Amino acid sequence: MRLEIAAVRKVYRGDVVALAGVTLTLEPGVLGLLGPNGAGKSTLMRILARLARPTEGRVLWNGADLARDPDALRAVLGYLPQDFGVYPNLTPREFLEYLAAARGLRGAGVRKRIDALLELVNLADASRRPLGGFSGGMRQRVGIAQALLNDPQLLIVDEPTGGLDPEERVRFRNLLSDLAGHRIVILSTHIVSDVEAVATRIALLAHGRLLADAAPEDLLRAAEGRVPPSCSRHAARTRSSSPGRSRRRSCGSRCRPWRSPPRWP
């Protein structure tokens, strides 16, 4: 599978340039889209999720131009937006069942899929409680579950760890690592530790422009001597003795990984 972003430009009213000719080619793995607020990350995510159209440029999925054939991606797309809303009177199970029906997912496998996803995001015990009483972190976990409903080939998550406690954040990072073996995952964030823990590639955005696109190790090598070293509480990538490879450092017992993501029965 292959996602191509070719010279994508987005200009809003008043000649506000949100994206200035971004070009990327993605294959299975985790792309960490890193940049400050206002860099254009969410605009790019919305274009890839077919919620906005580029002013110029093209987006291709396995060679198909999505402007001409939007259905080529829709069935295999999972998307968690930055601002994720819920129906407060529904339970997580009812909400996921509603979204599954809206997306045309039917059959006995849907209920099993929802059960597995609720277990995956640690909401099985709260599956019959109204969403209106959920904390921000619990709602975010519902958002993660809905993005995985169709077992997507392209998963886009925009600032996904907001509201999650440190332990849940590490679990989500590990989940993304598991998912990336068989699909393209795009993680948009301004939190460096979220990216350094899971990304196989990092794209740096600022003022709508792509500043860099490289493996984490290459970016770290280029930054040596320019910035102080960073650290994260639970996980980090450090270079091993083998060029181009990395090893993971974990804090130990608190870093319990999420289980591997469920697949359709």
Burial of 125 (0-12, 13-18, 19+ CB in 10 A): exposed
Contact 155, 28 (CB under 8 A): no
Band (255; pLDDT cuts 50, 70, 90) = very low
Spatial neighbors of 4 by CB under 8 A, at least 6 apart, are 24, 25, 26, 58, 59, 60, 61
pLDDT recorded at residue 47: 95
Band (243; pLDDT cuts 50, 70, 90): very low
Within 10 angstroms of residue 157's Cβ, the number of other Cβ atoms is: 26
Question: Which one has a higher pLDDT value, 18 or 243?
Answer: 18
To the question of pTM greater than 0.85 for the whole model, the response is: no
Q: What is the pLDDT of residue 226?
A: 63
Q: What is the third-level CATH fold of 26-50+70-250? A: Rossmann fold (3.40.50)
**Segment among 54-58, 136-140, 209-213 with least mean pLDDT:** 136-140
Q: How do beta strands 154-158 and 77-80 pair?
A: parallel
**pLDDT per position as a tens digit, 50-69:** 999 999 999 999 999 999 99
C-alpha dist (Å) from residue 3 to 58, 153, 166, 184, 185: 11, 10, 31, 8, 11
Q: What residues does 209 pair with on adjacent strands?
A: 206
